[in-house]
Amino acid sequence: MTKRLIRPTALKRLKDTYRDKGVLLPHLERHVMQTPLADVRPDDHSMSFMHASDLAKADWCGRHDYYRITGTPLDREAPRNPSFRLENVLAEGHVIHEKYQRWLWEMGCLWGDWQCLDCHHRFGALSPRACQFCLSTRIIYKEVTYRHRNYMIEGHTDGVVHGLDGWDGLVEIKSIGMASLRFEAPRLYQQYLNGTSAEDIWFQIKRPFPSHLRQGMFYLWMAWPRYEQIAFLYEAKFNQSVKEFVVGYNKRFIAQRLEEASEVADAVRAGDPPPRPQWAEDAVTRICQSCEYRRTCWQLGAAHGTKDTPDPTVIVRRASTARRRRALRPA
């Protein structure tokens, strides 16, 4: 197994667990932080497509996706940054997704892809009770994959419901914490910083967040005309309150981003990188600095006669009077 670099801050967090008092928690933290990180994308997420979850973000970079799709070598591998808190947040999000999918499965209305844990057979079905091949009851839900090959876009919706009081549609499940507001609803997050309670902020959420809405529109765009609506289930991490928003397909929410994705797809077929996004003003833009294709994109490095990062500043300190006098004494 190839060893990955670990950020110094992560090493410090790991060392701190050996100083913490406790019977279980320090051991749990070390176990989680020492577990090798999984791939950024699950094994059923193609690296040869753009992804709806990325396209929905305001800071999506089509040039980055171009380099990934065309197999451009990484300039550097991002160092691991394990954090017990972050892994705990991600795990809680998975648990929230799984419970709604399980309940819809038990209700007999969850359609999608399933996989057997015994024979690994994968099949599409509506709330099956057993594997179609070996009849094992140990099966798991693998959600639903949609692809548009001309645009080179792929998406994985959290679920598809069939025949629930005559309603068919897509389902997207979102776990909402205060950290979610920092990126999705800055105005509400500022209220939280100013002292507004989480419960009061929760009551102000009356529609899906913009990036979630765009993500859902991408799924409907690929699933249309079979499905015309998507139901968003929002669960508050701080008190388990739940909201539902049902939204109909409206292509105008993603029209501009579809044009940009089409340009990237054409660039991949032509073998010529697309333009950088407007927010990428220079190589020191915050998002560009963390990109694994930064040197290639901005033509940085020794191969291009420039340096990727400036030389570190040399700090000069004046020696003490006694030390200067000793240095001036005859040998």
pLDDT at 79: 63
pLDDT at residue 74 greater than cutoff 50: yes
Q: What is the mean pLDDT of residues 315-322?
A: 51
Across the chain, mean pLDDT equals 87
Q: Which residue has the higher pLDDT, 283 or 38?
A: 283
Whether residue 170 contacts residue 219, with contact meaning beta carbons closer than 8 Å, is answered with yes
Burial of 168 (0-12, 13-18, 19+ CB in 10 A): middle
Cβ neighbours for 148, distance < 8 A, ≥ 6 positions apart:
154, 221, 222
Query: Could you tell me the end-to-end alpha-carbon distance of the chain, in angstroms, rounded to an integer?
Result: 57
All structural domains of the chain: 8-37 (no CATH), 38-304 (3.90.320.10)
pLDDT for res 302:
47
pTM of the model: 0.83
pLDDT of 305 over the 50 cut = no
